[in-house]
Amino acid sequence: MPLADTPANPIELFFVLLPDTLALDWAGPAEAMRIANQVLVAKGLAPRFVLRFVGPCADQVSSVGLRLSGIEALPTVLPQPSWVVLLGLPGQTIAVDSEPARALLHWLRGLRLARHQLELVTVCAGAVLAAHAGLLARHHVTTHHQHLAELQKVAPSCQVVANRVFVEDAPVYSSAGVTTGIDLMLHRIANLCGEAVAAQVAQTMVVALRRGPQDPELSPFLSYRNHLHPALHRVQDAISSAPADSWSLNHMAELACTSPRHLTRLFVEHAGIAPLAYLRRIRLALAQTALQSGRNVTQAAELAGFSSDTQLRRAWHQFADGGTPSSSKMPN
């Protein structure tokens, strides 16, 4: 299937709906992307995602009995970049012998996946649909635990990964099921829009930020945010937006409309870290990124908001996993 020549942004997400599609499989991820756009606009930035709902039937009933209408036809041309989002269906196995399913598979077989151009996202048993269309060959993928054996049978050349929240093998991204589609979208929002934006989306949706058991530890921008205290989120949002600013405990307390002493208690109780330690973790993450991009230690310290190389080294010794700032610097 040809791809249209369009600007790289925004990304168009095509949520593919079949009769009986699991409602939460599309509603949760779609809301995450909608809220990400909202957060970006609030920051004075352009929306990053366009949500489209397509399928072989313009009018159909979802898994919970809600009638959906106005569904767009499966497009003949997809812009760049686009994501095709395949969703789960109820049942012990995924039936593909209905007329709508056959029409969808015919359309899917015409796709030519390519990283950053046309990517595939599967939620729950959406991976089985992708397997029937031959899109998963030699890719590492996951799906709902109930469908793991089915997925391997349908696509024997793919590498089925069990016990994972989601799996990335670009241009294929797969999640284990239902709410893990939200986890995958939050991860992709973090990669594309920044971790601070993803944290705000998760806060708005009141969901925990998590990754698969073999994925790296959450960035400090995402850690310490699995609480519901609005004053702490307000402070954390402000720090994440401008970590190099001249922050003090008094300034943070003013944002939270409380005293410095009470703010410290709230941080320790709800976030599990003291406010100034949280600030150092955020700055250290920025410094590490700067070092990995080729900046020297002095430049990294300045960009991250540390007052000196010594202050950066102290934070490194306190929070980093071994080594020194100098040893982590990438060669020019």
Q: What is the pLDDT of residues 160-176, one digit of tens each?
A: 998 788 999 999 999 98
Q: In the chain, how many domains are there? A: 2
Q: What CATH number is attached to the domain comprising 154?
A: 3.40.50.880
Query: Is 212 domain-assigned?
Result: no
Token readout for 252 is: 């943070």
**According to the model, what pLDDT value does residue 75 have?**
97
Q: Provide the pLDDT for residue 6.
A: 38
- The pLDDT, as a whole number, for residue 209 is 64
Same domain, 181 and 308: no
The per-residue pLDDT for 119 is 98
* CATH number of the domain encompassing residue 244: 1.10.10.60
Distances (CA, A) of 53 to 13, 71, 230: 8, 6, 33
User: How far is it, in rounded angstroms, from Cα 206 to Cα 195?
Assistant: 16
Is residue 148 domain-shared with residue 34, that is, in the same domain?
Answer: yes
Q: Are residues 265 and 305 in the same domain?
A: yes
Residue at 65 is within a domain: yes
- Chain centroid, CA 96 distance in Å: 29
288/152 same-domain check:
no
Look at residue 208 and tell me if it is in a domain: no
The predicted structure's pLDDT at residue 294: 83
Q: Provide the residue type at 51 as one letter.
A: L
Q: Are 95 and 223 in the same domain?
A: no
Distances (CA, A) of 271 to 111, 255, 304: 44, 16, 22
Which residues of the chain carry a pLDDT beneath 70? 1-8, 208-219, 321-322, 327-332
Structure tokens of 306? 């540390």
Spatial separation of the C-alpha atoms in residues 195 and 175, rounded to whole Å = 20
Do 253 and 134 lie in a common domain? no
Q: Which of 196, 226, 248 is the last residue of a domain?
A: 196
Spatial CB neighbours of 109, under 8 Å, sequence gap ≥ 6: 133, 134
**38 occurs within a structural domain:** yes
Count Cβ atoms below 10 Å from residue 163 Cβ, excluding itself: 11
Write the DSSP string, 155-186.
-TTSEE--S-SEEEETTEEEESSTTHHHHHHH
- 177 plus 254 within the same structural domain: no
For 76, phi then psi, to 5°, come to -85, -25
Residue 205, φ and ψ in degrees, nearest 5: -85, -10
The answer to whether residue 31 is domain-embedded is yes
Query: Pairing relation of β-strands 166-169 and 172-175?
Result: antiparallel
Residues 184 and 304 in one domain: no
- Asked whether the beta carbons of 54 and 72 are under 8 A apart, the reply is yes
Whether residue 272 is contained in a domain is answered as yes
The residue segments making up the domain with residue 156 are 3-196
Q: Quick check: is 253 in a domain?
A: yes
Q: Which two tokens stand for residue 135?
A: 């899109």
Are 167 and 301 members of one domain? Answer: no
Q: How is residue 86 written in tokens?
A: 């395949």
Distance CA 146, CA 135 (A): 20
Same domain, 252 and 186: no
Q: Is there a domain that residue 211 lies in?
A: no
Q: Are residues 42 and 98 in the same domain?
A: yes
Q: Last residue of a domain, which of 162, 196, 230?
A: 196
Which pLDDT score, from 0 to 100, does residue 222 have? 72
- The reply to whether 237 and 155 lie within a common domain is no
